[in-house]
Structure 1
Amino acid sequence: MTRSDRSPHGGELPSGVARIAVDLLGGDGAPAVVVDGALRACSADPDLHLVLVGPREAAGEVIGALADEDRGRVSVIPVDSAVGMADSPLRHIRRESTVRAAAEAVYMGRADAMVSAGSSGAAVAASAHVLGRLRGVRRPGLAARVPTPRGAVLLVDVGATLDATMLELVQHAVLGTAYAAVGLGIARPRVGLLSIGSEPGKGDRLRRAVSIALSDVPLPAGGRYIGLVEGFDVPRGGPADVVVTDGFTGNVLLKGIEGAISVSSDHEAAAVLLGVAGDVVVCHGAANGDQVAGGIALAARLHRERITPAVAGLADDLLTELSSAGGLTIRDALGERS
């Protein structure tokens, strides 16, 4: 029997049920905003089961607001401490916290996926430490769907790997391409690398080297590298379906876009963590209740459609080959001599 076949209370689970561990203390407005989001998610999805990770009082607000027949869809893992936005994720990753307990719930089979709107660094660190990384992955990347007039653009990374290396950017391109194909339904995804201009050779040494490397890498799902793209190509869409950058630049760009289109009902405040062995969704710290509910719905979809295993299947061989080769260096890509 697989771990998704049993409910948190024992017994068989109906087909289509998704059990989502929710970090009640994650986010600027936690726990109130997360409680609101959990209730909205429950109301929208009758096959959703929630594993609430946080103080009993906050969990009790969710349970108390549900109809009697829906209270069996909720279980609680009582945890009173969280990793704050100003805390060092790596320093606090081994102590008890809501985000670590949520990851452990997935690892132990009590939940199928997890959602946190708390510190992105803590969510990434906890997920990588507890769930482990996919084979060959050096560091995970956060992928956010940006709605545009020409269809969705997947921006990766948006905050997981701030100081990405050449190998990590190439691996994120591989993971992003696979996710765009299976998660967004994009045939033969077009991949661009964010830079300060679209002309060949634009950008710093890292960007120029990565561009050369991506020109030679056979991307999964028929993906193809189309070259450099600029910041305005992300919110307006067009040349690329997947835009790759480091987590620092991607986070700055995404927050700028979020501020500009915050009035849009199509705006999503959730990102999928690519490269870990589990389904993890990280919401924006300023997400409202509706956006937290959207993150929970996204996590349920990842589980039900088995998107993470599909991404791993498409990317596994290439990720392992890239990691084991160990020959991706900026100097070699640019043809420089020591």
Structure 2
Amino acid sequence: MRIAVDLLGGDNAPDVVVDGALRACAADPAVHLLLVGPPAVAEAAVAAAPAATRDRLSVLPATRAVAMTDPATRGGRPETTVRAAVAAVAAGTADAVVSAGASGAIVTAAALGFGRLPGIRRPALAASLPAVAGPVVLLDVGGSLDCGPATLLWHAALGAAYAALVHDRDRPRVGLLSIGVEPGKGDRARRLADPALAAADLPRRARYVGLVEGHEVCDGSRADVVVTDGFTGNILLKGIEGAYAMAGAASTAPRAGALLGVRGTAVVCHGAAGPADVASGIALAATLYRRRVAQTLAAIVADRVEA
């Protein structure tokens, strides 16, 4: 498989991205990486790679990064590394894209370059949280900050399918994040989405278990998929990361998530990702490609829209 890696995405790019890319290439002999960035940086990375992996590295020149302070629309400009990486996938030169750049710019680039799935206005970032009972899929964690009830229903459908495809969950349990478990708790979007989810026919024989609170997310006892908007999801994810730091423990919070709802495979890494996080993001992209997640989600969404 061929994975396009944005060399200029992230707080510590390009060094940590190059390091992580070389680690991922060495770990998986089936991976071929397309290094998207300034030619001097990409060519130096190829030269630094072990001889055994050098023939699985190639270069796609692109010179402009999208800064974390730039507007999300900057990701749509063709001269940026993230848009060039997405364009490579859209053209068939690569099979997936990985970037640690600004989430909004990546979502914009993927939505423009791949196109959204029918019926989906706002793509979602899905992160897999470690939990006692197995991974819990949390979405959205930053793809769409402001979500209405219809978007939350789509998130539930995408998340249920993702849990089944990536984590082999049989009949995944889906919950809606709120401030209490009693019906009627939460803001307007959740008060409307709760009964709609209860009546929805979710894919992969998923079942809706109702509202869940924040403290229930990481134990996995009630839900395999937790649905929320990108604003609260991102805060929750980073709060978990901060709790590990305060406890003096190494964080096991994910630093890479899959972008769901677009016609292609894209993985977004944390902006502060280190080499291991970048390597993990590339490994996730490889898993998504191997399991044909993007194609299966597209088929599920098409069936629901037609119905």
Q: Please report the TM-score for the alignment, with normalisation by the length of structure 2.
A: 0.95
Is structure 2 residue 10 aligned with structure 1 residue 24?
Answer: no
**Distance in 1 between residues matched to 2:27 and 2:208, nearest whole Å:** 38
Equivalent residue runs for 1:104-183 within 5 Å: 104-183=87-166
Question: Letter of the aligned partner of 1:30 in structure 2?
Answer: A
Question: Letter of the aligned partner of 1:192 in structure 2?
Answer: G
The counterpart of 1:272, out of the listed 258, 266, 269, is: 258
Question: Letter of the aligned partner of 1:277 in structure 2?
Answer: R
Is structure 2 residue 64 aligned with structure 1 residue 60?
Answer: no
Is structure 2 residue 301 aligned with structure 1 residue 315?
Answer: yes
Compared CA separation, residues 252 and 239, structure 1 to 2 (3 A):
same
Q: Where does the alignment leave 5 or more consecutive residues of structure 1 unmatched? A: 1-17, 322-338
Q: Deviations over 1:68-105 (max 9, x none)?
A: 34222111111110111111112552341000000000
2:180 aligns with 197
Compared CA separation, residues 285 and 320, structure 1 to 2 (3 A):
farther
1:38 aligns with 21
Q: Is the 8 A contact 1:128 1:276 kept in 2?
A: yes
Question: Letter of the aligned partner of 2:255 in structure 1?
Answer: A
2:81 aligns with 98
Compared CA separation, residues 91 and 287, structure 1 to 2 (3 A):
closer
**Distance in 1 between residues matched to 2:140 and 2:4, nearest whole Å:** 23
**Distance in 2 between residues matched to 1:316 and 1:223, nearest whole Å:** 18
Give the SS at the match of 1:227. strand
Compared CA separation, residues 320 and 116, structure 1 to 2 (3 A):
farther
Return 60-69 or 269-278, whichever deviates more.
60-69
Shift of 1:39: 0.9
**Distance in 1 between residues matched to 2:273 and 2:219, nearest whole Å:** 23
Shift of 1:266: 4.5
Shift of 1:181: 0.9
Give the SS at the match of 1:222. coil
Compared CA separation, residues 134 and 59, structure 1 to 2 (3 A):
same
Q: Please report the TM-score for the alignment, with normalisation by the length of structure 1.
A: 0.87
**Distance in 1 between residues matched to 2:137 and 2:95, nearest whole Å:** 24
Is structure 2 residue 220 aligned with structure 1 residue 237?
Answer: yes
**Distance in 1 between residues matched to 2:172 and 2:207, nearest whole Å:** 6
Shift of 1:320: 5.1
**Distance in 2 between residues matched to 1:195 and 1:311, nearest whole Å:** 26
Give the SS at the match of 2:214. coil
2:171 aligns with 188
**Distance in 2 between residues matched to 1:261 and 1:313, nearest whole Å:** 38
Shift of 1:304: 1.6
**Distance in 2 between residues matched to 1:29 and 1:290, nearest whole Å:** 13
Is structure 2 residue 292 aligned with structure 1 residue 306?
Answer: yes
Compared CA separation, residues 248 and 267, structure 1 to 2 (3 A):
closer
Give the SS at the match of 2:147. coil
The counterpart of 2:267, out of the listed 281, 284, 304, is: 281
Return 260-269 or 131-140, whichever deviates more.
260-269
**Distance in 1 between residues matched to 2:182 and 2:251, nearest whole Å:** 34
Alignment root-mean-square deviation, CA: 1.4
**Distance in 1 between residues matched to 2:128 and 2:306, nearest whole Å:** 26
Aligned residues: percent identity?
57
Return 252-261 or 166-175, whichever deviates more.
252-261
2:64 aligns with 81
Question: Letter of the aligned partner of 2:293 in structure 1?
Answer: I
Is structure 2 residue 281 aligned with structure 1 residue 295?
Answer: yes
Shift of 1:203: 0.8
